[in-house]
Structure 1
Amino acid sequence: MGFHRDILALDDEDLERFVRDWIARKTSDYVEVQRFSGAGDLGRDVVGFLTDRRHEGPWHNYQCKQYGRTLATSSALLELGKILYHSDRGEFTPPTVYFFVAPRGMGRDLEKLVFNPSAMRTALIERWDSTCAKKIVRGQTIALGGSLLAIINAFDFGQVKRLTVDDILGDEAAAPVLAKWFGSDPGPAPRGIVPVNVDIREQPYLGQLIDAYGERAGSPFQDHLAVRDNPQFGEHLQDQRKRFFEADAFNRFYRDNTLEEDLEALHDDVYHGVNGHYRGNHGDTLGRIDAVMSQAAAVTPGGLLARHARVQVKQGFCHHFANDGKFVWKR
């Protein structure tokens, strides 16, 4: 994917916001994500909490630095020293995992330390006076000893990790964020597949359709199989099921590959584009459904996903609206 330059062009604050959006998508990992910024960040940039205990439980820190070159050892040691110092002060427990988000990568010496955790601990202790002591709190010299040294010795430096642009772009959770930040087009959704047997998710809209066919025929149909075998309505029913599953496949694909608001915006455009026809006067319920389907085909939505919203997808949205209770076909 060609977003290396876009990410490298982000400044520090935008990189933090980008990372916050990214890890917020990792809902299987975190119960909450927060971004800390400014003088009171205490060494935290973007934090993912693994439990509702937040800073009293396990948490991950994403340290975001956008340098014009690779991340240097001195800068990394200072950031580690800062967060462990504030942990010693009782502001929070030490992070269980510490990520350096370094879009341009790490210097060779730092990379060597990351892959040799005990060497990183030794480097932080030995270089404390030159890299950390006078740089953590303005106007103060922080001596290394006592409980602070104990925290450093107890900290698992094996959980200090690096994240590069390639790591970010290779994560499935990044796709929606790339779409938001850089207008990434996730491409077309796969086509819908209509199962032979009715899916349980179809029951709400199908029930309304079956009633509409019975109303038009002058006598009720027992079930969808009776409609399917009817020469007047069978093909019409199959068209509606096809539309439903085209929309279903579309929704599933873009929920995974764009932000939720992109899909919601498209739904909203189609809903308002057909709502006048839905509320209009019609000869019967099936007349209302057909009028809405015709109008859905003509709706021209906007937004990131509009180019991929085929006619059947837009029509299928309307059956999903019926499933969700937004539309009740018989009025």
Structure 2
Amino acid sequence: MQTKIAANAQAMRRWLNKAETALGNHSDRLNAINIFPVADGDTGTNLYLTVRAASDALDALDPSVMDVGAVLTHAGQAALEKARGNSGTLFSVFLCAAAEPLAGQQRLSSALLATALHRAQIRAWTALSDPVPGTMLSVMEAASLAAGEIDALHPGDDSNHALGVTLDAAVAAALAAVVSTEDQLDALQAAKVVDAGGVGLLLILDCLRSVVLGEELQGTLLDDLHGYSVQDPHIHSSMPVDEGVEVMCTISLSPLDAATLRQHLDELGDSVIMSQLGGGEAGDGTYRWRVHVHVPTPGPAVELIRTLGTPTDMSISALSDTSGHRSQALQEAVDSGGHER
């Protein structure tokens, strides 16, 4: 077991930087197997750009900040503000939540890692209106459970050795969960691939393990994943085209209005994700929320959002645009204040 472990705030910066590089290197293969919830072939790109936003934010953060929780909170908020797609939004929620129990801590320990992963997976599951097993959510849960089991066997052990064992267990469990995704979702089973978002999260967790333990990424970690070989085709390209759009924005809402928005977005579409951004209550009873939804057309969702508040950072993008042309509805929504991505 590697004993020279780096688990401080500087290591967290290196973690996200390494994850950005790894996702950039793997984005094409992640895109190739991206068929759920829609076969739009962009999970790798979305995760890469989201993690890049987190990494860039830390590059601009005062290097004297040594609070692990503060560093990851800063990264998570930046990621959530600029999150791309389902996978990017869920990872941002995961990162923000993981940072919370680490506030005031100068280094990561086995117990803190287990607590952070537990908080993060719960927040990610609850951010979605209709969470689905067999996705990156299941990978988050598996990593959390494994870390918790190891920590329970060694209560109060904040040694580097315990942290290393916990990281090994979390990554191993994440890998097993990724393999299992193929059997949990009919779409993945039919296509004989694993979940793209789950693979992306596995890579991110292995980057954390690599940085903390001072080891290289596990070169054979992804070798046996179905559909992931470079010789395999881009599965998503043979799937039916989804004509819907993705709407994302940031908006300040009271808890009641946030619940109302979630309820009505659930009626209009699917893949609804709502997560509170940092900063707490604004003084007028409102909180800032990041909103994500897939809808057939953008108009009703955009109108609903604007009846409850003033959205910022609104983006509207076609889920699958093989023609290269905007639909009239998308053009009208963009012209009225959104921007296509």
Same fold (TM over 0.5): no
TM-score (norm 2): 0.23
Q: Provide TM-score, normalisation by structure 1.
A: 0.24
Determine which structure has more spread, i.e. the larger CA radius of gyration.
Answer: 1
